[in-house]
Copies of this chain bind each other. A is one copy, B any other.
Amino acid sequence: MKPVEIKTAPPEVRVIFDDIMASRKVNDVNNFWKYLANEPRMLKHTWESLKSIMGAGALDPMVKELIYVAVSVTNNCDYCMASHTAAARAKGATEAQINELYAVVALANMTNRLANAYKVPVDEQFKPRD
């Protein structure tokens, strides 16, 4: 699949590209959006979802980028690690925070498997209550 470039994008793609550039105050869109534009419906839904969830909300936007990186490291997605680590840094994440993030992600992947292996039953105090 080839990327869809801004200049030659069909109208339903162009309107999303324009919204991405306006929202982010930039003059170009990342490769992710150019490739995803091969499926204009998914381009629209993915952009609208991210625009809605990743901005101002209950969690700090920088924290949400760190969470994005945590999932991407667990799944080993190179593109997503690169783009969301850059976004976290742009929103203020320090090198010490990124290093600590990696440590937490690694430990969680470790203890997830220990809990699987030992089939640890959930403690009473962690269970939902009515």
Contacts and interface: CB of A to CB of B under 8 A. Distances in A.
Contact of A120 (B46, B76, B79, B122): B79
Contacts of A121: 31, 79
B66 A36 contact: no
B35 A79 contact: no
Q: Is the interface of A mostly helix, strand, loop or mixed?
A: helix
B106 A42 contact: yes
Interface in A112-126: 112-123, 125-126
Nearest to A63: B63
B39 A81 contact: no
B38 A45 contact: no
A51 to B, nearest CB: 10
